[in-house]
Amino acid sequence: MDMQKLYLLVPLAPLFGAIIAGLFCRVIPRWVAHTVTIAGVATSFIASLIIFQDVQAGNTFNGTVYTWLTSGEYTFEVGFLIDSLTTTMMLVVTFVSLMVHIYTIGYMQEDPGYNRFFSYISLFTFSMLMLVMANNFMQLFFGWEAVGLVSYLLIGFWYTRPTAIFANMKAFLVNRVGDFGFLLGIGLILAYFGSLDYATVFAKAPELATATIDLFGEGSAVSLMTATCICLFIGAMGKSAQVPLHVWLPDSMEGPTPISALIHAATMVTAGIFMVARMSPLFELSTTALSFVIVIGAITALFMGFLGIIQNDIKRVVAYSTLSQLGYMTVALGASAYSVAIFHLMTHAFFKALLFLAAGSVIIGMHHDQDIRNMGGLRKYMPITWITSLIGSLALIGTPFLSGFYSKDSIIEAVKFSDIPGSGFAYFAVMAGVFVTAFYSFRMYFLVFHGEERFGKAEDAHHHEHHGDHDDEEASHDHHHGLAPGQKPHETPWVVTLPLVLLAIPSVVIGYLTMGPLVAGDYFKGVIHIDNVAHPALATFLSHFHGAAAMGLHAFSTPPFYLALAGVLLSWFFYMKRPDIPAAIQRRFSGLYTLLENKYYFDKINDFVFAGGARVLGKALWRGGDVAVIDGVIVNGSAKVVRWISSITRLFQTGYVYHYAFTMIIGVFVLMTLWINRA
């Protein structure tokens, strides 16, 4: 088969499924909707596998599909760039998407919006594929906003819930703040590189390495690369939820769990990471931008991890964990270890999708009670969910030989050898983060699967405090109702557990298998560009690398292993042995607890300053500017002036043409009005 047709097939197959399921969602039966979309995504996955083989054989592609627009000296095209980075993303996206599609059959079986949901997730798959396959910034931005749109639609999937429709608008707007920077970055690219085509831009980058622009007035001479890269990275901060644009991601958990796994853990939120890795030829030219990246990433990795510790909603624990892991990936980017960031992106996609889907399975078993304080001892009732969750958690905390270990340890090692400004702080953050990750992960694990069975006891499970500031007791129709007294949780059907098992496999082995070629080998040769002189961190780390097995064995003598172990043991001690201690700590350090509970007050500040401020400003401009000054003074004032002038001109009968024109128009309109009103 012609490879170029196959490239087209990859995004178009899910799009076809989405259109069928979407346009006819009210007329087709459910089995048609899920069959056509699953067939689309499966086709796309298989095609991606074939393309992967082809790229491995050395056949990369960079070409145009069609010319979108020409204007002035510029041409904007829709086209594909198929190389090892693209195929990696294509495989991750289509595989996780396929798993989520299958899982959805079970998760959404009682939902009236079943067909619509399948349409959305297939549309998402299409958009994400267009994003990763783009060969230019315009298409990248297309995909970028399109995944944002589908995320908006899916967070607000249950559109009658006030929290959901608040969360989806918030997600879209916060992402738009990021896109604002991203678009300006793209503008700088077009203005100074004269093209939006990746290959052209990257080829031209070295000669512009020292170019400056007078951003802040004459002679301010800001480095073009730094300005461009920071603008682009602001886009990544929105999409990949980096502090301070992270605020939308925890709220996005209002959406159904399958999309939390697909969009808000495995794929969409990693678009920013992918984008920066793709732009490595640009970022490598600005150490300042990389410093900015590494510091933002480090803050996100550590401080979002802390928030995971105090969450009681099972999905929110996983959400904060995702934020923290995205911070790790960003740190890797800042340390110029782009391949490591992509490596962690991939392993994370598997184990975090697994954790989310397992959380969803728990939620089904618990009849939509999401509060981990109402769980406990579920391992007896949900064995497959239990084992796969354990695997996911172990992978996440970096247990040697599991996938998360290879990617996370590589990040830590790369940062250790990095010497750009901010890397010292980042190294501390990612090390401390190991402990925090292990602690919150196993806190959740123990509370859900071990210990006392706390379900079916509380008279009314959903009267426990609700996350967020937006009360939705009445609106949340059949969600959050929980198990009735005496009722036991049950294992979920095979369509739910099969994806768990299929995701657990790569969560275990993918790191061991791919660490060598992906990070140490030349898999990304010619795709990711690293200036080894200026940023030698990854090269230094790799000079110590002697194969995946040796790395695994060596781990037992390194601090991260013991930090993770300490985190697990402490959570076991706190939540299995002495549950009184966390409660005591919470009382003792109530100030700190309040700070964490309020998520460092980001939401409150945003609500007050930006949302509130915009409304106040809008009202002031409207009432003060439009109504009072313009209408009140100028319009009414000139009406008076006109009356005055006309009273004078009337005296003179000047015979100016405009006077007659005026009279004629008025006359015609008066006659017409009279005549029409008479009819």
Partner 1 sequence: MSTYPLLSFAIWIPIFAGLAVLAVGSDRNAPLARMLALFGAVAGFLVTIPLWTGFDVANGGMQFVEMKTWIPRFNINYHLGVDGISMLFVILNAFITIIVIAAGWEVIKEKVAQYNAAFLIMSGLMNGIFTSLDGVLFYVFFEASLIPMYLIIGVWGGPNRVYAAFKFFLYTLFGSLLFLLALLYLFINSGGSFSILDWHKLPIELAPQIWLFLAFLIAFAVKVPMWPVHTWLPDAHVEAPTGGSIVLAAIALKLGAYGFLRFSLPIAPDASHELSGLVIALSLIAVVYIGFVALVQADMKKLVAYSSIAHMGFVTLGFFMFSALAIEGALVQMISHGFISGAMFFCIGVMYDRLHSRQIADYGGVVNTMPKFAALFMLFSMANAGLPATSGFVGEFMVILAAVKFNFWIAFAAATSLILGAAYSLWMYKRVVFGEIANSHVAELTDINKREFAILGVLAFCTLWMGLYPQPFTEVMHASVNELLNHVNISKIQ
Secondary structure class of 70 (helix, strand, coil): strand
DSSP letter, residue 69: E
Burial of 423 per CB tally in 10 Å (0-12, 13-18, 19+): buried
Closest alpha carbon to 140 in 251, 236, 51: 236
Q: What residue ranges in 534-640 does DSSP mark as E strands? A: none
Stretch that binds partner 1, among 52-60, 407-415, 595-603, 669-677 (CB under 8 A): 669-677
Q: Does 221 bind partner 1 (CB under 8 A)?
A: no
Closest alpha carbon to 418 in 540, 542, 530: 540
Secondary structure class of 63 (helix, strand, coil): strand
Residues in the chain: 679
Q: Does 619 bind partner 1 (CB under 8 A)?
A: yes
In single-letter form, the type of residue at position 190 comes to: L
Stretch that binds partner 1, among 185-193, 318-326, 398-406, 496-504 (CB under 8 A): 185-193
Cβ contact 292:280 at 8 Å: no
Q: DSSP assignment of 390-407, as one string?
A: HHHHHHHHT-TTSHHHHH
Q: Which of 6, 91, 173, 458 binds partner 1 (CB under 8 A)?
A: 173
Stretch that binds partner 1, among 279-287, 306-314, 373-381, 666-674 (CB under 8 A): 666-674
Q: How many CA atoms lie within 13 A of 624 on its CB side?
A: 6
Closest contact distance (angstroms) between CB of 165 and partner 1 is: 4
Q: Does 5 bind partner 1 (CB under 8 A)?
A: no
Select 199 or 614, whichever has its Cβ closest to partner 1. 614
Closest contact distance (angstroms) between CB of 60 and partner 1 is: 26
Stretch that binds partner 1, among 65-73, 401-409, 417-425, 493-501 (CB under 8 A): 65-73
User: Residue 80: which residues within 8 A CB-CB, separation 6 or more?
Assistant: 7, 61, 62, 63, 65, 86, 133, 134, 135
Q: Which of 15, 121, 186, 461 binds partner 1 (CB under 8 A)?
A: 186
Closest alpha carbon to 61 in 51, 71, 46, 69: 51
Q: Does 621 bind partner 1 (CB under 8 A)?
A: yes
Cβ contact 277:333 at 8 Å: yes
Closest contact distance (angstroms) between CB of 669 and partner 1 is: 5
* Residue 203 tokens, joined: 């080829």
Site string for partner 1, 72-111 (x = CB under 8 A): xxx-------------------------------------
Q: Which of 57, 648, 651, 676 binds partner 1 (CB under 8 A)?
A: 676
Cβ contact 519:410 at 8 Å: yes
Identify the residue whose tokens are 């129709």: 477
Q: Does 65 bind partner 1 (CB under 8 A)?
A: no
Q: Does 183 bind partner 1 (CB under 8 A)?
A: yes
Q: How far apart are CA 232 and CA 205, in angstroms?
A: 15
Q: How far apart are CA 178 and CA 493, in angstroms?
A: 40
Touching partner 1, residues 12-31 (CB under 8 A): 26
Helix (H) or strand (E) holding 82: strand 74-82
Q: Which of 583, 585, 592, 614 binds partner 1 (CB under 8 A)?
A: 614
Q: Does 625 bind partner 1 (CB under 8 A)?
A: yes
DSSP letter, residue 246: T
Cβ contact 430:418 at 8 Å: no
Q: Does 672 bind partner 1 (CB under 8 A)?
A: yes
Closest contact distance (angstroms) between CB of 191 and partner 1 is: 4
Cβ contact 575:454 at 8 Å: no
Q: Does 184 bind partner 1 (CB under 8 A)?
A: yes
* Residue 629 tokens, joined: 């000054």
Q: Does 637 bind partner 1 (CB under 8 A)?
A: no
Q: Does 179 bind partner 1 (CB under 8 A)?
A: yes
Q: Does 628 bind partner 1 (CB under 8 A)?
A: no
Q: Does 172 bind partner 1 (CB under 8 A)?
A: yes
Q: Does 615 bind partner 1 (CB under 8 A)?
A: yes
Query: Phi and psi dihedrals of 646, rounded to 5?
Result: -65, -30
Q: Does 213 bind partner 1 (CB under 8 A)?
A: yes
Closest contact distance (angstroms) between CB of 160 and partner 1 is: 5
Q: What is the dihedral of CA 248, 504, 308, 429, to 10 degrees?
A: -100
Separation of CA 66 from chain center: 28
Closest contact distance (angstroms) between CB of 170 and partner 1 is: 10
Site string for partner 1, 582-611 (x = CB under 8 A): ------------------------------
Cβ contact 321:352 at 8 Å: yes
Q: Which of 6, 19, 46, 142 binds partner 1 (CB under 8 A)?
A: 142
Q: Which of 32, 190, 209, 498 binds partner 1 (CB under 8 A)?
A: 190
Q: How far apart are CA 655 and CA 209, in angstroms?
A: 69
Q: Does 646 bind partner 1 (CB under 8 A)?
A: no
Select 229 or 537, whichever has its Cβ closest to partner 1. 229
Closest contact distance (angstroms) between CB of 636 and partner 1 is: 10
Q: Which of 29, 206, 383, 618 binds partner 1 (CB under 8 A)?
A: 618
Q: Which residues bind partner 1 (CB under 8 A)?
A: 26, 66-74, 138, 141-142, 145-146, 149, 152, 156, 159-160, 162, 165-166, 169, 172-173, 176-177, 179-180, 183-184, 186-188, 190-191, 213, 215, 475, 614-615, 617-619, 621-622, 625-626, 630-631, 634-635, 638-639, 642, 657-658, 661-662, 665, 668-669, 672-673, 676-677, 679
